[in-house]
Structure 1
Amino acid sequence: MPTLSVHQKPATGRFGDFGGRFVPESLVPACDALAAAFHEAWTDPAFRAELDELLEVYAGRPTPLTPARTLSARLGVELLLKREDLAHTGSHKINNVLGQALLARRMGKHRIIAETGAGQHGVAAATAAALLGLECTVYMGERDIERQQLNVLRMTTLGATVVPVTTGSRTLKDATNEAMRAWVADVDGAHFLLGSVGGPHPYPTMVRELQSVIGNEARTQSPYVPDVVVACVGGGSNAAGTFAGFIDTTARLVGIEAAGGAAMTDGSPGVVHGARSMVLQDAEGQVAEAESIAAGLDYPGIGPEHAFLGATGRAEYYAVTDDEVVAAVRRLARAEGIICALESAHAVAWVLREAGGPLLPTGSRVVLTLSGRGDKDMATLGAVA
């Protein structure tokens, strides 16, 4: 059975045929310095202790593993929800940004640059910057700004500068492009605080390690090794962090994409944002546009480690439609009193659809990561009522 790569100082950042580093020459030294700095910090007990303390007393970890008793009874499966929606700022994003912000300060950077789609990563980045006394600039697609006004207000209230991106599809892909350009322009003074397990090495490994707290906690909290571990996937940081806790068990690992952005099922190998992975692209190799009701999954690629896990068969990837996602938000809310983010609802929708069938037989024991809360999506849900 394949295992997740262990971060090592001379690591290449490759996951089989995927990963690597495809960046302008001007960024190679910055990536090398970041890889070395992360290795040094991750093996430093003082750094780990400071991060662990912040995760506990500031971010509110550990998050609970909540039995979904009503849905379990109705579906005929035993469903446990890993509640990242209860972490500070309302999603799993805080785990990664606290670690990267501490690393940025350790490296002597005075400013962080971030990209965001649904705004949850932007809010978390702005939060960590405020806490640690760093400047923060967040790039966000104009279309996402329109549908995530609450998170834009949260970011500006925290002191961040939100830069609208008006090129391309005006969503997460284009925001990431602009954030990387801004990093090139200020590579000495700024740290690019990437929110997902994509991008050039060392980001996929670093972000997965910082998010592995999700899976490690869930494995400890679960009364058994589940049959299935499921999480939504855009770039895939919450899923990578969840899977990390169960990779060496018999649990099936299942990632759920948006039907309009399903890189694993509709994509092909290619390069996007500095890494080789599975990418939505046209016949000429140009990156195609993704579509999803969930701004955080409106992305044409997937993290290279996910591409590797899918290629080797260790993880499975499926897609659900926007209609299934909206129905899943409402069903979870009315059955369990939990309003989850549209992103998280992709995982819920798959369980609702497959429970009792060959992919999720009756009696299956399931751990599902709720990556975020749904406050930010109320206007979108209201518009499709």
Structure 2
Amino acid sequence: MDKSLLANEVMPNAEGFFGEYGGRFVPPMLEPIMREITEAYEKIKDDPVFKEELYYLQKHYTGRPSPVFHAKNLSEKLGGAQIYLKREDLNHTGAHKINHCLGEALLAKRMGKKKIIAETGAGQHGVALATAAALVGLECDIYMGEVDIYKEHPNVVRMRILGANVIPATHGLKTLKEAVDTAFEAYLKDPVNQLYAIGSVVGPHPFPMMVRDFQAVIGREAKEQFREMTGSLPDNLVACVGGGSNAIGLFTAFLDDETVSIYGVEPSGTSFETGDHAATLTLGKPGMIHGFKCYLLQDEKGEPAPVNTVASGLDYPGVGPQHSYLKDIDRVSYQTINDKEAIDAFMKLARQEGIIPALESSHAVAYAMKLAKTLPKDQTILVNLSGRGDKDIDYVVEKFGKDYGIEE
């Protein structure tokens, strides 16, 4: 089986499927709305005026291209492969999320929508969407679990400063899955005047395709930058996976490069045995959630199972349908990192390189550190540093500070 050819087939198909995953399973009243969004996106993505506007904002507003940085100190400390970082944390708003939020906000404006709404976990998607809404002149509602509102307080304040309404999800575990539930309920009440700007490569078609396409700028840039820096492609790619937008953004440009090994990293939380994790691709099985089919962590009734991880942005029982497909064809190897390893990587990158990563990105850094130790020094690893850790510092100090001598 040629994994690279399978991985780079024209996907999704017209019905929104990546192999058996994806699709569009929505209430009948939403079907014409989703078709309208699909048609509008297909029209604008090849529109030179739209592309020029998006490119202008990426360059002059977001600050693209984001740099690639050789983490020499960390690499030397580990004694193995050389680790490089794609610095999405340096984007305006502090993460990769601005890449698709600008695209979705411009699309909503073109479609004549009055408001954009979304869910958020760690708050990075919420901040990015609130930013894009302010820029293009749209109202913005952000749904966020009560637990995450507490954990990610700095981002909540940023969203409110930007003019967004932050609406708590108060049922269930009060985290990302519940925020998605609440946002979908709100969207169903008025799909005509609102656009639900989904925050990852999940949800019904066309969102997994659309978000991937907007995020693919990460990999296109990285491929060119890495060649310029080293004269070759990276030997390995590493990115964290919750829904999977930052990962698919990096991976897409390299799927047909057979010499490049690709690793997606999801959270094993505190315990596989007790179910306190969010390792969807590792322990899940195919199922349905939020209008699409993917690998899904399920309870004994087949319903989405509770999940747990130190990283709010990875706290989701499902995963992008393209990731599900890439797992099945064995093009991407999906690995896990636990909470303790992620916190340790958070601190090590801060103290070795002066870079404080988001807890989500810390999962990728932690796996890259493990991988580097197993490889010779002439091997290279490119990590998507998908976000910065400003939002996490209060939580980390409160919960783990004493272990690192930073108690308040």
- 1:206 is matched with which residue: 206, 210, 214? 210
1:382 aligns with 2:397: yes
> Could you report, residue by residue, the CA deviation over 1:155-208 in whole angstroms, capped at 9, with x for unpaired residues?
000000000110111000000111111111110000000010000000000000
Native 8 Å contact 2:176 2:313 kept in 1: yes
Structure 1 length-normalised TM? 0.97
Residues 1:84 and 1:112: Cα distance change in structure 2 (over 3 Å): same
Native 8 Å contact 1:65 1:82 kept in 2: yes
Q: Give the aligned partner of residue 30 of structure 1.
A: 33
**Which amino acid letter does the alignment assign opposite residue 379 of structure 1?**
D
Q: Give the aligned partner of residue 263 of structure 2.
A: 254
**Which amino acid letter does the alignment assign opposite residue 139 of structure 2?**
E
After TM superposition, the structure 1 = structure 2 runs for residues 315-330 of structure 1, keeping only pairs within 5 Å, are 315-330=332-347
> Could you report, residue by residue, the CA deviation over 1:316-372 in whole angstroms, capped at 9, with x for unpaired residues?
101100000000000011111100000000001112223232xx5553211100000
1:367 aligns with 2:382: yes
Per-residue deviation at 1:219? Answer: 0.4
Q: Tell me how far apart the structure 1 counterparts of residues 161 and 112 of structure 2 sit (CA, whole Å).
A: 25
**Which amino acid letter does the alignment assign opposite residue 29 of structure 2?**
S
Q: Tell me how far apart the structure 2 counterparts of residues 247 and 90 of structure 1 sit (CA, whole Å).
A: 26
After TM superposition, the structure 1 = structure 2 runs for residues 1-385 of structure 1, keeping only pairs within 5 Å, are 1=4, 2-6=6-10, 11-75=14-78, 76-223=80-227, 224-250=232-258, 251-259=260-268, 260-357=277-374, 360=375, 362-383=377-398, 384-385=400-401
Q: Tell me how far apart the structure 2 counterparts of residues 123 and 40 of structure 1 sit (CA, whole Å).
A: 27
Please give the secondary structure, in 2, of the residue aligned with 1:140.
strand
Q: Tell me how far apart the structure 2 counterparts of residues 51 and 362 of structure 1 sit (CA, whole Å).
A: 39
Please give the secondary structure, in 2, of the residue aligned with 1:244.
helix
Please give the secondary structure, in 2, of the residue aligned with 1:261.
coil
Native 8 Å contact 1:82 1:218 kept in 2: yes
Q: Tell me how far apart the structure 2 counterparts of residues 60 and 102 of structure 1 sit (CA, whole Å).
A: 18
Please give the secondary structure, in 2, of the residue aligned with 1:226.
coil
17-26 vs 87-96, which moves further: 17-26
Please give the secondary structure, in 2, of the residue aligned with 1:103.
helix
Q: Tell me how far apart the structure 1 counterparts of residues 94 and 318 of structure 2 sit (CA, whole Å).
A: 24
Please give the secondary structure, in 1, of the residue aligned with 2:167.
strand
Per-residue deviation at 1:5? Answer: 4.9
> Could you report, residue by residue, the CA deviation over 1:231-261 in whole angstroms, capped at 9, with x for unpaired residues?
0000000001000111111211110001110
Residues 1:92 and 1:73: Cα distance change in structure 2 (over 3 Å): same
Native 8 Å contact 1:356 1:362 kept in 2: no
**Which amino acid letter does the alignment assign opposite residue 82 of structure 1?**
K
Native 8 Å contact 1:199 1:274 kept in 2: yes
Per-residue deviation at 1:3? Answer: 2.7
Alignment length, in residue pairs? 382
Please give the secondary structure, in 2, of the residue aligned with 1:308.
helix
Q: Tell me how far apart the structure 1 counterparts of residues 365 and 373 of structure 2 sit (CA, whole Å).
A: 14
Please give the secondary structure, in 1, of the residue aligned with 2:319.
coil
Q: Tell me how far apart the structure 2 counterparts of residues 90 and 271 of structure 1 sit (CA, whole Å).
A: 31
Residues 1:238 and 1:335: Cα distance change in structure 2 (over 3 Å): same
> Could you report, residue by residue, the CA deviation over 1:288-326 in whole angstroms, capped at 9, with x for unpaired residues?
011000000111111000000011001110110000000
Structure 2 length-normalised TM? 0.92
Native 8 Å contact 2:11 2:18 kept in 1: no
**Which amino acid letter does the alignment assign opposite residue 114 of structure 1?**
A
Q: List gaps (5 residues or longer) in structure 1.
A: none
Residues 1:117 and 1:5: Cα distance change in structure 2 (over 3 Å): farther
Per-residue deviation at 1:212? Answer: 0.2
Q: Tell me how far apart the structure 1 counterparts of residues 129 and 363 of structure 2 sit (CA, whole Å).
A: 24
Native 8 Å contact 1:7 1:39 kept in 2: no
What is the RMSD of the two structures over their aligned residues, measured on CA atoms? 1.2
Q: List gaps (5 residues or longer) in structure 2.
A: 269-276, 402-408
**Which amino acid letter does the alignment assign opposite residue 58 of structure 1?**
Y
Q: Tell me how far apart the structure 2 counterparts of residues 143 and 347 of structure 1 sit (CA, whole Å).
A: 23
**Which amino acid letter does the alignment assign opposite residue 37 of structure 1?**
A
